[in-house]
Amino acid sequence: MTVTRRDFAAAAGLGLVGALLPGERRMTLADRIMAEPAEPIPPFTFKIEQQVGKIAAGGYAREATVKEFALSEGLAGVSMYLKPGGLRELHWHALAAEWAFMDRGRCRITVFDPDGHNEVVDLGPGDIWYFPRGYGHSLQGLGPEETHFVLIFDSGHFSEYGTFSITDWMGLTTPNVLSQNFSTPQATFANIPKKEVYIAQGRVPAPLPSDPAPGTERVGSETHRYRLMAQAPHEFPGGTIRLASSVEFPVSRTFTGAYMTLKPGALRAMHWHPNADEWQYYLSGRVRVTLFGSSGRSRTEEVGPGEVVYIPRGFGHHLESLGPDEARLVLGFNSGIYQESSLAQWLATVPPEIVTDNTGIPESTVAGFSRSTPGIIASR
């Protein structure tokens, strides 16, 4: 017997319109664009740093979720600033894994895994972190300057403002239960916050011991920090790419992060990603981004520092660096396996007569196409 969606909803007694069967995926806006050739491609850039955001004692955050940025259903992002000692409180996320790129300053992270390990480690500019979905964590600015990092989450429905924070939970719990839970008198909890703190103004923590005393550390086998800028970059004539998938950064099982530089006039070659959506945050430069959306549709937008780009899985795209400054950007993909298909490499590796019949380009020309992926091409 075949169980239809209606049977499933009725059997569950829910009567929900559009309830999903296990394993079924809801149609995203990008899916609907592909299904409806008359639909134009919607905006795919977002000015995250122009958002008011959420301000707390120890810092502030601005976010881009599917609520503000309709196309970005596969990934969400946050730009966060912490004062020295500013503590993004102990919390977890039920909906998404968290990845971050350190832009400025220094930050201490703690991450608590379900085996009871607790990693405490410091990060500086160019370092990244990854927390699997549901793992408890905290972030703290180490000063002396303000700390800035870009967070990316592997669901566009994620909101930084709707996370599971310990002050929120404990503030909602009766003193009697707290007393029993921690085996300590009720008076212990008389002055705890009554609602979510979000970013507390804490004390700048002491340096971590370079040689911890035996038995004082309880750390798992996998670190949650990766030094992306310390990696030797993939060098191309027009720029560089550093990339950390689950191959380079094993704990990052659901996410690939990258850092790219584009010289003025360079072209990030025409390509697409078969298995992941892409989210970009621009640190510097001016870039013209073009998205190819099938059925005679493409859309071009220009972005600069503090702006975000979202590229749905499978959509063709390329980036033109407009100068005068070098463009620098942080990129995230919602898969731990990195896949990229390049148009130029494809046409160079398919039998040339197919390309000639398909495009009219002479076989002698096609035979000269480079068979390696072009990556980033220099200004001509």
Q: Which stretch binds Mn ion (CB under 5 A): 95-103, 190-198, 254-262, 296-304?
A: 95-103
| Least Å from the CB of residue 153 to Mn ion | 8
Binding mask of the shown chain, residues 119 to 138, with x at each position contacting Mn ion by CB under 5 A: --------------------
Choose the stretch contacting Mn ion; rule: CB under 5 A; options: 193-201, 228-236, 271-279, 351-359. Answer: 271-279
Which of 109, 366 has the CB closer to Mn ion?
109
What is the CA angle 273-303-342, rounded to 5?
25
Catalytically annotated residue among 63, 73, 98, 307? 98
Evaluated on CA atoms 46, 48, 49, 50, the torsion sign reads positive
Given 62, 106, 137, 317, which residue is catalytic?
137
Query: Would you call 89 a catalytic residue per the annotation?
Result: no
Stretch that binds Mn ion, among 92-100, 117-125, 258-266, 362-370 (CB under 5 A): 92-100
CA-nearest of 159, 198, 162 to 77 is 159
Reply yes or no on whether 137 is catalytic: yes
Is 91 annotated as catalytic?
yes
Q: Among positive and negative, which fits the CA dihedral 111, 242, 124, 328? A: negative
36 classed as catalytic: no
Q: How far apart, in whole angstroms, are the C-alpha atoms of residue 278 and residue 21?
A: 27
Residue 277 CA to residue 313 CA, distance in Å, equals 4
Tokens of 208: 């971590």
Phi, psi angles (nearest 5°) of residue 9: -65, -40
End-to-end Cα distance, the chain: 63
Cβ-based nearer residue to Mn ion, 43 or 162: 162
Among the candidate windows 17-25, 57-65, 96-104, 142-150, which touches Mn ion by CB under 5 A? 96-104
Annotated active-site residue in 88, 273, 286, 328: 88
Identify which of residues 66 and 97 has a Cβ nearer to Mn ion in the complex.
Answer: 97
- Catalytic position from the list 62, 89, 91, 119: 91
Q: Which of 62, 93, 148, 286 is catalytic?
A: 93
Our answer to whether residue 98 is catalytic in this structure is yes
Answer for the pair 118, 110: CB distance below 8 angstroms, yes or no.
yes
DSSP-derived 3-state class of residue 321? strand
Give whichever of 139 and 348 is closer to Mn ion, judged by the CB atom.
139
Rounded CA separation 172/185 (Å) = 18
Q: Which is nearer to Mn ion, 94 or 367 (CB)?
A: 94
> Could you tell me the two tokens for 366?
């096609």
Shortest approach of Mn ion to residue 318 CB, angstroms? 9
Single-letter amino acid code for the residue at 202: G
| Smallest gap from residue 12 Cβ to Mn ion (A) | 32
CB-based contact 147:104 (threshold 8 Å): yes
Of 332 and 352, which CB lies nearer to Mn ion in the complex structure? 332
By CB under 5 A, name the binding residues for Mn ion. Answer: 98, 278
Active site residues: 88, 91, 93, 98, 137, 160
